[in-house]
Every structure is written in C-alpha cells, then in structure tokens.
Amino acid sequence: MIRVTPSISIAERELEEHFIRASGPGGQNVNKVATKVDLRVDLDAIEGISEPALARLKALCRHRLDADGRLMISSQTERNQARNLAEALDRVRALVAAALREPRSRRASRPTGASRERRLETKKRRGALKRERAREQD
C-alpha cells in the first residue's frame, strides 16, 4: 500500500512495474543491469480520492496516460533499480498531491482610478503627437 495522504492510498496490486535496461552513460553496467523502471498506475483504483480531484489528476497527467487510461512514469536517473522505483513512486505521490489542491477561483478586478487616468493621459499624448504630424504634411 502506497500512502499519499492518511486517507488516500494506492494498492500495490494496482501498480505494474517493468524493469528494462537504461539508456545513456553507465559503462558496462548499462549493458548488463535492468535499472530503468516503467511504472503504470491505474488512476481509477486510487482509494479515497474524490471525483473532482480524480478529474484534475487525469487532466494533469493527460500526456502520460496509455490507451487503457493508466498513468505511465519512467525513471532511469539512478544506477540502482530500487532507487529508480522509489523515485517513480515519489513522482506518482507528487502528482496525486498536486491534484488534491483545488485551484483558486479568479475574482474579477477593476482598474484603479489612477491607472485609468494614466491610460487616458497616454492616449491624449499619442493623439496630440499624431495631430502634429498631420499638420506638418499639409
């Protein structure tokens, strides 16, 4: 069981992990040891998450979903299989935690009186400049 918060968890049976050889530098180790982890998580099986938070999570992860709607996370930064798995699980926790935060609603604001004055003054100056140019051409 992977705990995100005290009330939200992911059952280990819902995690599917595959270990493959990582790309990039690493010497002989990179050709012999399968350290890269591809982790797939079924988002619908996350226990305790509300529907709005699940919808935010799916929107947040829309580019990382496979054809079955599972979240795909890869990690190959470490040279150790266990550390790569731990990093992938941390990323899943962070994504779920980010989806739990409700976005603040935007409140419409009005321009201040001083900013309206500055805007009008700027428009008057620009108009005067254009009027002066027009007179020079006549």
Read off the pLDDT of residues 20-30 as tens digits, 9 standing for 90 and up. Answer: 777 766 667 66
Does the predicted TM-score (pTM) go above 0.75? no
Percentages helix, strand, coil for the chain (3-state, rounded to 5) are 50, 20, 35
Structural domains of the chain, ranges and CATH numbers in brackets: 2-100 (3.30.160.20)
Closest CA to 37 of 92, 93, 83, 90: 83
Both tokens of 19, joined, read: 């270990």
Confidence band of 136 (pLDDT split at 50, 70, 90): low
**Phi and psi angles of residue 30, each rounded to the nearest 5 degrees, phi first:** -70, -25
Read off the pLDDT of residues 89-119 as tens digits, 9 standing for 90 and up. Answer: 888 888 888 888 888 888 999 999 999 999 9
DSSP 58: H
* pLDDT of 43: 83
